[in-house]
Structure 1
Amino acid sequence: MPVLRWSDPLTGRPTRILVAGAVAAGKSTLARQIGAAWGLPYVEMDSLYHGPAWEPRPTFRDEVIT
């Protein structure tokens, strides 16, 4: 999967956008705003990764990579 920079043109409409950054940098706020503007769902990675008792979910990798 290619990683785009801010100056790269989009070749199509994305269906997923990953927002990464430092703690308390505003990632969640930005991700919610992008989702609202583009009509995409907002999903926190922690909710996909952690299962009961904060154990990693065995299906995490397949759900995120596909």
Structure 2
Amino acid sequence: MKLNWVAGGWNTPDTFKGVPHSVNFDSLESLMKTMSKCTYNGEWVTDSKGNRIDIDLRGICLK
């Protein structure tokens, strides 16, 4: 599965602003563990075929 986001934060270089990014995770548990230490910024999760997975990342972040 992949965590996806569009770069656009204050510290993002102009060449990367608006560009979609993603990172692979081996399991849902590892993704949730990582995101529990982060601030939610509009990220979304997709499966290996690119289908969006319904998961409450906002509820997981900063727990």
- TM superposition score normalised by structure 1: 0.26
Greater strand share, structure number: 2
Q: Which has the higher contact order (CA 8 A, sep 6+)?
A: 2
Over alpha carbons, which structure has the higher Rg?
A: 1
